[in-house]
Structure formats: structure tokens, C-alpha cells
Amino acid sequence: MLKFVVTVLIACGIFFISNTNGFFHQHGEKCQITVYKGGKEFGGEKIMANKSFVPHLKTVAKFAKTCKVKVHVTESYKQLKTPTDFVLNAQIPLAVGRGIRFDLQNPKGGTVCNKLCMTTSSWKNLPEAQCFINGIQKSGIVLSDTNLLNDGSTSKLSISDANKLKEATQKLCAPKSKTTPK
């Protein structure tokens, strides 16, 4: 009789758990921003990026190595003061972790091409910079806003949807506030 009761209880437990659709194990969405360690092809600021952007960073590193340049990161994902803070449309890739702002350096750290160089398209006259920029563009990575590399995903969104994505990312990745007992 005891075996029967235990078997029925186990069967009911399995039935209950399978039909609650994971109610007891629900995990909401998690922040997708991670630190990208990169390698010797990167320098400058620590790279914070959406996990979906990491394969693009690996492609960037591949072309940096091939073209004998170092990607000096000047900006990547940053947490805003509030998720609703205004961000220019061109800056949305940074606000969602799908882009980096950069300068190019030689392997010893000397400047090859900075923001001014890219703004004036002088990179077209510098073999290393031309090699790098042409390579990443052919691989599908977008160079926008002069020195901002991104995956192009936010440019396909309406302004409203891009802002919703920014707010959602910023909310998910906001540091958890500690409540102090009264």
C-alpha cells in the first residue's frame, strides 16, 4: 500500500510540475551585456557589449590582426542614469551594447587614424586603415557616425522601437538598488 501511495504522489508531482509551465522555475529576462576581454588587437576602454555583438567583435579583432592595427576603444555600452534618458538615434548602438566607438593605432600604440581622420575620409589614404575599414564593411559590420562600429541592427528599427529597445536594455542591466531598512 505504501508503494502505491508513493507512486501516486510522485505521478501527481510530475503532472503538477509539468503542467505549471515552469511557474516555479521562471526566470525573467536577464541583462545581455557582458565584458568582452578581446585580446592584443584591442586597447583603450574596457569593452562592454551585448552578447549578440561579441561575434562581430571577434571579426573586428581578425581584421585588426590582418591589417596590423590596434582598435583603441574610446566608448562602448554605458549605463544611463535613467533608462529614459535621451540618446541620439546615431548613439543607440552604444546604449544597447551593439557598437563601439574607436580610433586606430599601430601595434606600438601610435595613432594611425582618429575621429578627425575618419570624418575627413583620410583613412582611404592610409593602407592599414583602408585595409581594416574595407574588411569590416565587407563582413557586414557597419561604420557609422564616423568612428562607430555596430552590427546595423538598430538602424533597421523605427525610432520608437529603437528607444524601446534602449529602455528595455537599460532597465534589465541597471544595477539592483539596495533598499535600506528603516
- CA angle in degrees (0–180, nearest 5) for 97-102-78: 30
Q: Which of 93, 98, 94, 104 is CA-nearest to residue 41?
A: 104
Q: What is the mean pLDDT of the chain?
A: 87
As a 3-state breakdown, the chain gives helix, strand, coil percent values, each rounded to 5, of: 45, 20, 35
Cβ–Cβ under 8 Å, residues 74 and 103: yes
Hey, is 127 helix, strand or coil?
Answer: helix
pLDDT at 77 over 90: yes
pLDDT at 113 over 90: yes
Minimum mean pLDDT range among 16-20, 94-98, 115-119: 16-20
pLDDT value, residue 13:
47
Q: How far apart are CA 65 and CA 93, in angstroms?
A: 24
Pair type for strands 142-144 and 148-150: antiparallel
pLDDT value, residue 26:
44
pLDDT value, residue 146:
77
pLDDT value, residue 18:
42
pLDDT at 23 over 90: no
Residue 139: pLDDT band by 50, 70, 90 thresholds?
very high
Residue 145: pLDDT band by 50, 70, 90 thresholds?
confident
Give alpha helix (H) positions in 20-144: 54-67, 92-95, 115-119, 127-138
Residue 12: pLDDT band by 50, 70, 90 thresholds?
very low
pLDDT at 142 over 70: yes
pLDDT value, residue 129:
96
- Which residue has better confidence, 102 or 12? 102
Contacts of 133 (CB under 8 A, 6+ apart): 123, 143
Residue 175: pLDDT band by 50, 70, 90 thresholds?
confident
pLDDT value, residue 15:
46
Domains in the chain (CATH in brackets) are 39-172 (3.30.1380)
Task: Tell me the whole-structure pTM to 2 decimals.
Answer: 0.79
Contacts of 70 (CB under 8 A, 6+ apart): 40, 41, 42, 43, 64, 104, 105, 106, 107, 109
Q: How far apart are CA 16 and CA 24, in angstroms?
A: 11
pLDDT value, residue 38:
85
Q: Which three cell numbers stand for residue 6?
A: 508513493
> Hunting for cell 586597447 — which residue is that?
43
- Which residue has better confidence, 128 or 25? 128
